[in-house]
Amino acid sequence: MDFKELQQKIDHARTLTDELPPLPYTDFKALIKARSEDQRSYITYIDEDDNRTEVSYADFCKQVKDCARFLQGRGLRQGDRVATISHNHWHTNIQYFASWLLGLVVVPINLGEDDERIAYILENGDVELAFIRTEYRERFRNILDTYKDKLKNIEWIVCEGEVDNFTKEDGALNLPEDPLTESEALIVFTSGTTGAPKAVMLSQRNLLEDARSISNWHGIDENTRMMCVLPIHHVNGTVVTLITPFYAGGSTVLNKRFRTSRYFELIAAENVHIVSMVPTLLQYLNSYYEDRERPEIPTLRHVICGAGPLTVKVAETFEEQLGVPIIHGYGLSETTCYSCFVPTDIDEEEHKKWRSDYGYPSIGVPVPANEMAIHDEDGNALEENERGEIVIRGVNVMIKYYNNKEANEKTFKNGWFRSGDEGFYIKDDDGRPYFFITGRLKELIIRGGVNLAPLEIDEVINKAPGVKAGIAVGFENDWYGEEVGAFVQLEEGAAEDKEAILNYCREKLPFSKAPKVVVFGDDIPVTSTGKYQRRKVTHHFEEWKEVQFRED
Asked if residues 467 and 372 have their Cβ atoms less than 8 Å apart, the reply is: no
How, if at all, do strands 340-341 and 365-366 pair? antiparallel
Rounded Cα distance between 422 and 203, Å, is 27
Q: Please give the C-alpha separations between residue 128 and each of 148, 176, 212, 369, 510, in angstroms, as whole numbers.
A: 14, 19, 31, 32, 55
Amino acid 192: pLDDT: 47
| Domain boundaries along the sequence of the chain | 26-38+47-180, 446-544
- C-alpha distance across the termini of the chain, in Å: 51
The CA radius of gyration of the chain, in Å to the nearest whole number, is: 23
Q: Are 101 and 175 contacting, i.e. CB atoms less than 8 angstroms apart? A: yes
The answer to whether the beta carbons of residues 544 and 208 sit under 8 Å apart is no
DSSP 445-477: EEETTEEE-HHHHHHHHTTSTTEEEEEEEEEEE
Measuring CA to CA, which residue among 194, 186, 249 is closest to residue 223? 249
Phi then psi for 247, rounded to 5 degrees? -60, -45
What's the farthest any 2 CA atoms get from each other in the chain?
Answer: 80
pLDDT for position 194: 43
**Phi, psi of 421, rounded to the nearest 5 degrees:** -105, 140
Of the candidates 364, 340, 363, 349, the one whose C-alpha atom is nearest the C-alpha of residue 319 is: 349
Contacts of 417 by beta carbon, 8 Å cutoff, 6+ apart: 13, 334, 335, 391, 392, 393, 397, 398, 411
CA dist 164 and 449 (Å) reads: 61
For the domain 446-544, what is the CATH superfamily, name and number?
A: ANL, C-terminal domain (3.30.300.30)
26-38+47-180 has which CATH code?
3.40.50.12780
pLDDT of residue 362: 97
Q: Which amino acid is at 186?
A: L
In the beta sheet, which residues pair with residue 373?
391
Per-residue pLDDT tens listing for the chain (552 residues)? 788 899 999 999 999 988 899 999 999 999 999 999 999 999 999 999 999 999 999 999 999 999 999 999 999 999 999 999 999 999 999 999 999 999 999 999 988 888 988 999 999 999 999 999 999 999 999 999 999 999 988 887 887 654 445 555 567 899 999 999 999 999 999 854 345 789 999 999 999 999 999 999 999 999 999 999 999 999 999 999 999 999 999 999 999 999 999 999 999 999 999 999 988 889 889 989 999 999 999 999 999 999 877 889 889 999 999 999 999 999 999 999 999 999 999 999 999 999 999 989 999 999 999 999 999 999 999 999 999 999 999 999 999 999 999 999 999 999 999 999 999 999 999 999 999 998 877 777 888 877 788 888 999 999 999 999 999 999 988 888 889 999 999 999 999 999 999 999 999 999 999 999 999 999 898 877 777 888 889 999 999 998 989 887
Cα angle: 450, vertex 454, 457; to 5 degrees: 100
Buried b (16+ CB within 10 A) or exposed e, 171-187: eeeebeeeebbebbbbb
List C-alpha distances in Å: 417 to 79, 197, 398, 407, 515. Answer: 24, 18, 9, 11, 33
Cα 119 versus chain centre, distance: 22
Within 8 A by CB and 6+ apart from 202, the residues are 184, 185, 186, 187, 188, 235, 333, 336, 398, 399
What whole-number distance in Å separates Cα of residue 210 and Cα of residue 222?
17
Please tell me the predicted confidence (pLDDT) of residue 428. Answer: 96
Instruction: Evaluate the CA torsion angle 156, 238, 20, 430 in order and state its sign.
Output: positive
Cα 45 to chain center, whole Å? Answer: 21
Signed CA dihedral, 43, 91, 525, 365: sign only: positive
**Distance from C-alpha of 313 to C-alpha of 394, rounded to nearest angstrom:** 32
Given a contact cutoff of 8 angstroms between Cβ atoms, the answer to whether 133 and 85 are in contact is yes
Q: 518 has which bridge partners? A: 486
Which amino acid is residue 509, in one-letter code? L
DSSP designation for 151: S
